[in-house]
Amino acid sequence: MSDDALTLFAITLPGLEQTLADEARSHGFDVTATEPGGVTMAGGWSEVWRANLELRCATRVLVRLGSFMAFHLAQLDKRARKFPWADVLDPTVPVRVDVATSRKSKIYHAGAATSRIETALTETAGMQVAADAPVILKIRIDDNRVTISVDTSGEPLHKRGHKEAVGKAPLRETLAAAFLMQCGFDGTQPVFDPMCGSGTFVLEAADIAAGLQAGRARPFAFERFVGFAPEDMAQLRTDARRAVPPVRFTGSDRDQGVIAMAQANAARAGVSDLVQFDTGNAGDATPPDGPPGIVMINPPYGARIGNKKALYPVYGRLGQVLQERFSGWRVGIVTSEAALAKTTGLPFLPDGPGIAHGGLRVRLYRTDALR
């Protein structure tokens, strides 16, 4: 695969674009724009591979293959048949076509546009089209310009490849990583989660501290593209980790079952030596030994699990425990309910943006170091 300049678009949840841009720059990517829904970067195929491996806040990485103008379906058909699909797509690997249209375009029917492009792929490029294909083409028709991109990730990037066991209403890894970063976590501070569930915050913190690649344990769609070189990828994919100072990444939960899940997830991720999970009630939480760090919590919201009214005393007790026992610690609480967050009585900084998650809009409520 040629390493000529490409346009990459790393997708993230709306509201996390700046966090992703900051992360990408910290990894040495050439960020050219921050746009609604993601970050545009310039680079070659090696950067595409590395973006999938390393970016923790991205949900997918697209590569723009090209564009052309089309004012009607016949023109779309003609130009799609001339498009150099075979430069990237392997005809033995099925593809799926996903078309989005805008009101500014003469072509406004996504279904008809999809059909024309699928026909062009099968009749002139010898491609196979399937609904469950491992490679997805993203086609956008905006102001009569047809822009063709390919999804290089495959499965969403929050699926790290080592977290098989999850509890109720788990937080996605991409969201957990972004919230850790927004709380100032850089890998050097302790992280404690007194409602850890299957361990997402704790495991992401340990990964970041050890400098481990987010996607080290999973495959990607780009491995099915023409010219993919496994030997080159092997040089980028590594299990090497940096030495971690004596910092503890700890979690507790009253449910022994999810603690077992968290421990199993840590073992699969190869970070069991960096984390500790114990059974315990958040209302009885005490700081781990060592210097202050960051308390990260994704408590129940009452929208999907439990009764919201019953959660007010839970949040109230949580806030009391944190203020009385966690002096010097910063706190990040994720919830969809502002009233519940307020019940903690914690001195929150201005609210962050609402983030769509599991049919809800959640926010990170964070503090400076507690006094």
**Domain chopping of the chain, boundaries:** 6-151, 173-214+240-366
* pLDDT > 70? residue 241: yes
pLDDT per residue over 102-127, tens digit each?
Answer: 889 999 999 999 999 999 999 999 99
| pLDDT for the residue 307 | 72
Distance, CA of 314 to CA of 317 (rounded, Å): 5
Check if the beta carbon of residue 170 is closer than 8 Å to that of residue 197. yes
Chain centre distance of CA 39: 13
Distance, CA of 274 to CA of 310 (rounded, Å): 35
Amino acid identity at 194: P
Residue with tokens 């009607």: 72
φ, ψ dihedrals at 53, nearest 5°: -75, -35
Nearest residue to 182 (alpha-carbon basis) of 54, 12, 315, 20: 20
End-to-end CA distance of the chain: 55
Q: Confidence class of residue 247 from pLDDT cuts 50, 70 and 90? A: confident
* pLDDT > 80? residue 95: yes
Check if the beta carbon of residue 242 is closer than 8 Å to that of residue 182. no
| pLDDT for the residue 2 | 55
Domains 6-151 and 173-214+240-366 share a fold: no
Check if the beta carbon of residue 30 is closer than 8 Å to that of residue 40. no
- Lookup: tokens for 62: 């697209």
Distance, CA of 268 to CA of 270 (rounded, Å): 5
Helices 173-182 and 200-210: crossing angle in degrees, nearest 10, is 70
Helix locations, 125-195, DSSP H: 173-182
| pLDDT for the residue 156 | 96
* pLDDT > 60? residue 252: yes
* pLDDT > 90? residue 269: yes
Distance, CA of 280 to CA of 352 (rounded, Å): 30
DSSP 191-258: EEETT-TTTHHHHHHHHHHHT--TTTTS--GGGGSTT--HHHHHHH---------S--EEEEES-HHH
Check if the beta carbon of residue 167 is closer than 8 Å to that of residue 198. yes
* Residue 339 or 304, more confident: 339
131 CB-contact burial (10 Å; exposed 0-12 / middle 13-18 / buried 19+): exposed
Q: Confidence class of residue 245 from pLDDT cuts 50, 70 and 90? A: confident
- 3-state DSSP percent of the chain in helix, strand and coil, to 5: 35, 25, 45
Nearest residue to 145 (alpha-carbon basis) of 100, 98, 115: 100
Buried b (16+ CB within 10 A) or exposed e, 53-73: bbbbbbbbbbbbbebbebeee
| pLDDT for the residue 238 | 82
What average pLDDT score do residues 222-239 get?
A: 91
Check if the beta carbon of residue 193 is closer than 8 Å to that of residue 295. yes
| pLDDT for the residue 167 | 59
For domain 173-214+240-366, give the fold. Answer: Rossmann fold (3.40.50)
Nearest residue to 177 (alpha-carbon basis) of 59, 50, 271: 59
| pLDDT for the residue 102 | 86
**What is the maximum span of the chain, computed from C-alpha positions, in angstroms?**
70
What class, spelled out in words, does domain 6-151 have in CATH? alpha beta
